[in-house]
Amino acid sequence: MKLDQPHFIDGKWVAGQGECRMPVHNASTEEVMAELVSASTSQTEQAIVAARRAFDSWSQTPVEARCALIDKVVAGLKARTDDMALTIANEVGMPLKMANMIQVGGPIFNWSNAAKVARAFEWEETVGNSLVVREAIGVVSCITPWNFPLNQITLKVAPALAAGCTVILKPSEIAPLNAILLTEIIEAAGFPPGVFNLVHGTGPEVGELMVSHPAVDMVSFTGSTRAGRRIGELAAQTIKRVALELGGKSASLVLPDADLEAAIKGTVNACMLNSGQTCSAHTRLLLPQDQYEAAKPLIAQAIRKLTLGPSLDENTRLGPLVSATQRDRVLAMIEKGLAEGGELIVGGPERPAFEKGYFVQPTAIRVQPQHTLAREEIFGPVLVVLTYQDEEEAIRIANNTPYGLGGGVWSRDEDHAVAVARKIRTGQVDINGAPFNARAPFGGYKQSGNGRENGVYGFEEFLEYKALQFKPKDKAA
339 burial type by CB count under 10 A (0-12 exposed, 13-18 middle, 19+ buried)? exposed
> What DSSP string runs through 313-364?
-TT-SB---S-HHHHHHHHHHHHHHHHTTPEEEE--SSPPS-SSS-----EE
- State the Cα–Cα distance between residues 215 and 470, nearest whole angstrom: 32
CB 433 within 8 A of CB 264: no
Reported as type and span, the H/E element at residue 13 is strand 12-14
Per-residue DSSP letter, 377: -
Residue 239 Cα distances to 80, 133, 138, 160, angstroms: 39, 22, 14, 19
Residue 158 Cα distances to 19, 44, 135, 196, angstroms: 30, 21, 16, 10
CB 155 within 8 A of CB 199: no
Catalytic residue among 67, 165, 271, 279: 279
Reported as type and span, the H/E element at residue 21 is strand 21-25
- State the Cα–Cα distance between residues 382 and 365, nearest whole angstrom: 8
From the list 297, 218, 283, 273, the residue with the least C-alpha distance to 253 is 283
Is residue 279 part of the annotated active site? The answer reads yes
CB 378 within 8 A of CB 333: yes
Within a 10 A sphere around the Cβ of 75, how many other Cβ atoms? 16
Catalytic residue among 91, 173, 205, 245: 245
> What are φ and ψ of residue 141, in 5° steps?
-95, 120
Reported as type and span, the H/E element at residue 431 is strand 430-431
Task: Tell me the catalytic residues.
Answer: 245, 279
